Amino acid sequence: MKEAYLRTRRGGSLALVAERRWAELLHPSAQNPAEKLQFIPYMQKYKIQQDKPETWERQWKCFKALMFNHFLFSFL
């Protein structure tokens, strides 16, 4: 019985690692469409903060902060 339990635990942890890797790939890619849509002139009327222009530098800063927080809090 103990061997069956250990086999299940090993398989379960492998599935957990695979699920975690999938989430690590999916998380940043979910932001991509929103990043691109912000630079389409038609979409500018839907901006919440009209006084702040969109630039690639601001996007990059936001992405770095997002990734930092994501990895920091997921591994704590």
**Residues 15-36: tens digit of each pLDDT:** 666 666 777 777 667 777 877 8
- In sign, the C-alpha dihedral spanning 60, 61, 64, 69 is negative
How much is the pLDDT for 3? 58
pLDDT at 9: 53
Instruction: Say which residues have a Cβ less than 8 Å from residue 54's Cβ, sequence separation at least 6.
Output: 38, 39, 47
Whether the pLDDT of residue 75 is over 90: the answer is: no
**Would you state the pLDDT for residue 4?**
52
User: DSSP state, 43?
Assistant: G
The pLDDT assigned to 1 comes to: 47
Tens of pLDDT, residues 3-12: 554 555 555 5
pTM: 0.54
Amino acid at 6: L
